[in-house]
Amino acid sequence: MKELLVISGKGGTGKTSVVASFAALADSKVLADCDVDAADLHLLLSPEELESHEFIASRLATLDEEKCIGCGRCSEACRFGAIAMADGYPVIDPISCEGCTVCSHICPEGAITMVDAISGHWFVSDTRFGPMVHAKLKAAEENSGKLVSQVRRKAREIAERQGLECIITDGPPGVGCPVISSISGVDLALIVTEPTVAGVHDMERVLDLTRHFDVNAAVCINKCDLDEGNTERIEDYCCAEEIEVVGKIPFDEEMVKAVVRGEPPVARVSGGHGYVEGFGSGHEAGSADSRKCSDGKAAQAIRRLWDRVQDRLWQDADSGE
């Protein structure tokens, strides 16, 4: 079983549209949305929820006012500025609290206890392209890394149980905690970037990260015709770093329209009656075939990209191990 992670460093480069397209193109897979902060994949795959679980992680300090003698040691010990003293008594700010438990240990009166808090939810769903694991972190929460690990664990379990060939993961933006949790042990990290100065800069940082964790990486340039100069810069950089540019997707308004319709860009809707085959074979809506085709230029490029990514996934593993 192979794990493909799609990340971008910079947000908004079209990562989710690429993942949703792969979902439509791949045969035997489970989908995982690890962008638990701002999950969007469900908007393109319209999952039907099968299971919903509470994600209990951050433990919150709570004060028992009866027991508190106002010594202030908790406030001194808290390094996250979560306990202020007001009128001689501590006031805990739940948003600043990291759940480190130090105050509960330090309090001589045992007046602070840690209570479990629901930090979010995670779901197992069914989509027309296969099973999907996704999650929603509550606003202003920590522990996105732990929730990512939970989503990955479940996706792996499903893949193993159902004998699926790969896990396709929509990763979070950035290079911090949730990305680090997403990246460990994947077979290939596909970095979707765009030819903008910010896209180039952020891609370089994500490639530093894949190198740091010794993960196989490949790059795809979305909206490659937006700025030829920057596209060249990306290609030169990748060439020098021996990172393959596995695909280039031209700007195509169809990509945005697909998002508005709630469809992967490689799928196409005909007159509101459901999908049609790109080759006009007249399959009905809802047929078991997931290879719905659109022949827009972006969709074509994504299909070529997927072919190359498949090669990399299976061939890298064979030569690498």
Partner 1 sequence: MIISIASGKGGTGKTTVAVNLALALEGAIPIHFLDCDVEEPNAHLFLHPEIEHSEKVNLPVPVVDESKCDGCGKCAEVCAFNAILAFKSQTIVLPELCHGCGGCTLLCPRGAITESPKEIGEVETGRAGKIKFSHGRLKIGSALAPPLVNAVRRTADGRGPDGGLVIVDAPPGTSCPVVASIKGSDYCVLVTEPTPFGLNDLMLAVDLVRELDIPCGVVINRAGLGDDTVSSFCSGEGIPVLLEIPYDRKYAECYARGGRLVEDFPKLRDALCGLWRKIAESSGADRDGMVRRREMAEI
Q: Is 63 in the site for ligand SF4 (CB under 6 A)?
A: no
Contact 186/32 with Cβ under 8 angstroms? no
Between β-strands 217-222 and 188-193, what pairing exists: parallel, antiparallel or unpaired?
A: parallel
Site residues (CB under 8 A) for partner 1, limited to 205-244: 205, 208-209, 212-213, 226-227, 229-230
Residue nearer to ligand SF4 on the CB measure, 43 or 60: 60
Contact 172/148 with Cβ under 8 angstroms? yes
Both tokens of 122, joined, read 């995670």
Q: Is 90 in the site for partner 1 (CB under 8 A)?
A: no
Both tokens of 319, joined, read 């030569």
Contact 256/265 with Cβ under 8 angstroms? no
How are the residues of the chain apportioned to helix, strand and coil, as percentages rounded to the nearest 5?
Answer: 35, 25, 40
Q: Is 269 in the site for partner 1 (CB under 8 A)?
A: no
- Interface residue with partner 1 among 70, 85, 101, 316 (CB under 8 A) is 101
Among partner 1, ligand SF4, none, what binds residue 212 when CB lies within 5 to 8 Å by partner kind?
partner 1
Q: Is 80 in the site for ligand SF4 (CB under 6 A)?
A: yes
Q: Is 9 in the site for partner 1 (CB under 8 A)?
A: yes
Cβ of 123: how many Cβ atoms within 10 Å?
20
Both tokens of 238, joined, read 């990748």
In a 3-state reduction of DSSP, which class is residue 159? helix
Among partner 1, ligand SF4, none, what binds residue 256 when CB lies within 5 to 8 Å by partner kind?
partner 1
Among partner 1, ligand SF4, none, what binds residue 11 when CB lies within 5 to 8 Å by partner kind?
partner 1
Which residue do the tokens 């939970």 mark?
Answer: 150
CA pair distance 62, 49, nearest whole angstrom: 34
What residue ranges bind partner 1 (CB under 8 A)? 8-13, 16, 37-38, 40, 43, 59, 77, 79-80, 95, 98-102, 105-106, 137, 139-142, 144-145, 172-180, 194-199, 201-202, 205, 208-209, 212-213, 226-227, 229-230, 253, 256, 259-260, 262
What residue ranges bind ligand SF4 (CB under 6 A)? 61, 77-78, 80, 82-83, 92, 97-103
